[in-house]
Structure 1
Amino acid sequence: MTQAQPAIRLTGLTKEFGAVTAVDHVDLEIAAGEFFSMLGPSGSGKTTVLRLIAGFEQPTGGVIELFGEDVTKRAPFDRDVNTVFQDYALFPHMSVLDNVAYGLRVRGLGKKERNERARRALASVRLEQMADRKPSQLSGGQRQRVALARATVVQPKVLLLDEPLGALDLKLREQMQVELKQIQRELGITFIFVTHDQEEALTLSDRIAVFNAGRIEQLGTPAELYERPVSRFVADFVGTSNLFDPEHSLALLEREGHHSLRPEKMTVSAEVQHGDGVRNAAGTVVEAIYLGSGVRLVVDLDAGPRVSVLEQNVRGRVHDDEHGDRVVVSWHDGDVVAVDGTAVGPQNPTPTASIGAMLPGTAG
């Protein structure tokens, strides 16, 4: 998605809190009408960048542009952006309609016009029938949509969303992900979404910036980040990966350096598989985890490392069927991705899901 004038341009953006550098010279352009996510663990700098764009924090250095205008030193109310927070911050004593119309009231619009616009905003999130209710009479998903209507009714050029789905249960969160994407497409507003949930980012986004230690580790589409991570950190954080250090890469993959291989790209069988680019490694199943839609097999390879293999549940398998079995793990050379071997920063330890590098051993 290319635009001559990006909705947001960050140039050398830096934020220091005493001796701590929370944002470290970030350069970024976000296109108009884009659903853009900033993804990363706690302390990675993503929320600070959002607060800098909103004007809630002042940068130590760098420039923030909104559609070509320098807004770096402007107050939050003087920027054409709005923010939806995780707790929604609805006024409990006001009706849903009055909550949505509040921003227009502050801007001095007459009652008739602001109520008309508030009703249109509620219709855009499919809640026009709830206009007279109080927030306490709504479900969590409905309150989330009210907060979204309140933020969009003032027609901001950019909408900032600070983990707005984090307080919802899993089923409702998945439902709201779909609705949020539909609302964004209908409104055509640039959405900048902050989350630590990689599945949420993959589901919603046109592009994602993965943050680590105050910097952007990788920027790309969901498919680019997942299929071709550039570093161990991204392979670790975006999905589950089997990571191979140089020793095991050489023994198993016949490649030098660090490499990543996704669990769903591997298969487990009783026999060696054949074909161009197919590789095999014998091992022993140490755990079979039933996931409903699939089965995750943890296999100790004879060559040393422990790997995770994800198979679809197409045979109604029982989760402990393969425990202790001797198996052959197979994969295709084309699914192996070379990654930067730089270790994950101390504030972001390697997640246990990335089990490919967890068990040291001598390759054979």
Structure 2
Amino acid sequence: MRLEKISIQINNDNIINSLDLKINSGEIFVLMGPSGSGKTTLLKGIAGLLPFASGKQTWENGTGTTGLVFQEPRLFPHLTVVENIAFGLRVRGISVKERKAMALNFLKNLQLESLENRYPHQLSGGQQQRVSLGRALILNPDLLLLDEPFASLDTSLRLDLIEWLYELQRNLGFSILWVTHYIDEALSVADRIGIILNGGLQQIGIPSELFQKPASEKIAQFLSLPNRFSRGQWRKWFQYELNGLQTQDRGWIDPKHLQLIDEGNRSGEGNIEEAACIISGFVTKVRPSREGYSITVLADSKSLEVNTTGWKRVPKLKEKIRIRVPFEHIHWYSE
């Protein structure tokens, strides 16, 4: 599916502004952006629920269909699991016997084989959302539109359903335009990610491109990239001119690439070559993580985040600490 110069208005306000987008066959395209950026409006426009003020939508084979799944399952409470899944087939005029057979056969994909006669109130939240997905997928849409489908579920169930849907998509080969505000969700499923701000797509790329080379500080801020500082601040810490970065005003570095050095044990510094610097500061926060600890250090009125893995001694609050920063792990981008 391709969108060309699409604009969508609500109450005469431009919500989507001259947006271009192409979803490839069999692709999972994840759309991310802050609240109010136009994500849901765009999905509704693609699904035909909102009119385009301008622009056009085209399909590779001339025509195409979509299936839209919202955050809430929105099941029919008086219909069973099988009847909910088969509802779209009923609208299409398929006979009772045929649509029931198709729905029962589809239950295996949904991992709901033994629940066909239950009603929505007898299902868990995850089961309800799988029924909602099944209701859309049984119609074999060319593009499945997902509007944060697992956001209301607890973390462990959300992760399980993400993995389940990813495997289902890879097996069946349909395309997905998936809206989420969870970065971990985007990274676990996306072939490509698009960042939408103020009704326009600001950057599209594979996940590694977006994180390593954000197109602007606004995108870096939205992605919550840590340890983002100006080139001037990095130059101050490294104490030499950073050559070859004339068009790149800022840089960020992953906390796992920073090394804490105990102030009482200088032997941990190693050889401080030109491509690394040592920053002194004070510990302002210590939080446990899965791998070790997440430590915040204040240096030159700037906060640096450092992640440790199995560090034997946990620094104390207000303790003076030193951080080794390797230049090669800084990702540079434009303001």
Tell me the TM-score normalized by structure 2: 0.90
1:206 — aligned with what?
191
Query: Per-residue deviation at 1:317?
Result: 6.2
- What corresponds to 2:324 in structure 1? 330
Q: 1:273 to 1:212 in 2, by over 3 A?
A: farther
Counterpart residue number, 1:360: none
Report how far residue 179 of structure 1 moved: 0.9
Letter in 2 for 1:310: N
Quick check: 2:27–2:191 contact (8 Å CA) kept in 1? yes
Task: Output aligned runs, 1:183-198, within 5 Å.
Answer: 183-198=168-183
Query: Contact 2:225 / 2:252 at 8 angstroms: preserved in 1?
Result: no
1:251 pairs with 2:243: no
Alignment match, 1:161: 146
Q: 1:315 to 1:279 in 2, by over 3 A?
A: closer
Deviations 1:214-248 (A, max 9, x none): 12121111222222222212222224321112431
Name the aligned partner's letter for residue 42 of structure 1.
S
> 1:41-80 residue pairs with structure 2 within 5 A?
41-67=34-60, 69=62, 80=65
C-alpha contact (below 8 Å) 1:199/1:239 kept by paired residues:
no
Report 1:1-364 matches (<5 A). 8-18=1-11, 20-67=13-60, 69=62, 80-253=65-238, 254-255=241-242, 257-270=249-262, 271=266, 272-274=269-271, 275=273, 277-301=275-299, 303-312=300-309, 314-315=310-311, 321-341=315-335
String of CA shifts for 1:262-287, please: whole Å, max 9, x gaps: 22222212243435622221111111
User: Aligned-pair distance for 1:16?
Assistant: 3.0
Deviation per residue, 1:46-96 (Å, 9 max, x gap): 222111111111122111112253x7xxxxxxx511111111111111110
The aligned length equals 322
Aligned partner of residue 143 in structure 1, secondary structure: helix
Any conservation in 2 of the 1:273–1:330 contact (CA below 8 Å)?
no
> What TM-score, normalized by structure 1, do the two folds share?
0.83
**Distance in 2 between residues matched to 1:216 and 1:267, nearest whole Å:** 36
1:339 is displaced (CA, Å) by 2.1
**Is the Cα–Cα contact under 8 Å of residues 14 and 59 in structure 1 kept in the other structure?**
yes
The worse-fitting range, judged by mean Cα deviation, of 277-286 and 137-146 is: 277-286
Structure 2 residue matching 1:282: 3-state secondary structure: strand
Q: Secondary structure at the match of 1:91?
A: coil
Describe the SS at the equivalent of 1:176: helix
Gaps of 5+ in 2: none
Contact map agreement 2:252 2:332 (CA 8 A) in 1: yes
Instruction: Report what 1:348 is aligned to.
Output: none
CA distance in 2, matches of 1:179, 1:98: 22
Percent identity reads 33
Alignment check: 8 A CA contact 2:256 2:306 kept: yes
Q: Give the counterpart letter for 2:66 in structure 1.
A: V
Return the alpha-carbon distance in structure 2 between the equivalents of residues 23 and 94 of structure 1: 36
